[in-house]
Amino acid sequence: MSKRIFVLAVFFAFGFNFSLYSAEPVKVYYSEEGKFTIPFGRNYNYADVLVKRVVDGDTIVLETGERVRLIGIDTPELHESDKLYRDASRTKQDISTIQKLGRRAYEFTRNLVEGKRVSLEFDAEKRDRYKRLLAYVYLKDGTFVNAEIVKQGYASLMTIPPNVKYADLFLRLYREARENRRGLWK
């Protein structure tokens, strides 16, 4: 058996086993023969997926086990993290105040989406550096979740190019929420 066939046989044996646990197809590239892709794993239907739980005000977990970071918005930190300490330093607020605001944003998002079926819309990038899906989320009744969180005053803006499809809408909703002292702006 040639070395090339042996390597491919090993790849298929291990790659297939890995793909059973993968939420997205595995992509394989070989430089000797050029670039090619071998799809494995499952493709999920993001047009109709259950929100299993809410992690915080801007992150949810799907029935697939995948984490979704809501594009364009940022809610106060609920959990202990480096970002919590950076936000405290940046805003000059104490950590417990930020976490209390984070709890309110979390509860709003949880009441809005947890246990409900949603659809996802992607922008230019599908995943962030932490491998979370980046998405705009919609309830089955058409409610645009990202926008609703901003509109009701539970999020600030986080615009990270190239994912800017609804940046103008979010800015308008953010200003209205602040002016009308909704949600966290009371």
| CA torsion, ordered 9, 11, 16, 21, to nearest 10 deg | 160
Cis link prior to 25 (omega < 30° from 0)? no
- 167 — pLDDT class (breaks 50, 70, 90): very high
Interval 11-35: pLDDT, tens? 444 444 433 334 444 444 454 555 4
Check residue 91 and give its pLDDT. Answer: 87
Rounded distance between C-alpha atoms, residue 94 and residue 73, angstroms:
22
Alpha carbon 44 to chain centroid distance?
15
Task: Report pLDDT digits (tens) over 100-156.
Answer: 999 999 999 999 999 999 999 999 999 999 999 999 999 999 999 999 999 999 999
pLDDT value, residue 44: 77
Beta strands in 36-95 (DSSP E): 49-56, 59-62, 67-70, 72-74
pTM (predicted TM-score) = 0.77
With pLDDT > 90 as the criterion, what percentage of the chain qualifies?
70
Residues with catalytic annotation?
Answer: 69, 77, 132
Please give the single-letter amino acid code of residue 151: K
Q: Residue 177: is its pLDDT beyond 80?
A: yes
Domains annotated for the chain, with CATH where assigned, are 1-42 (no CATH), 49-185 (2.40.50.90)
Q: Which tokens sit at 150? A: 């901003």
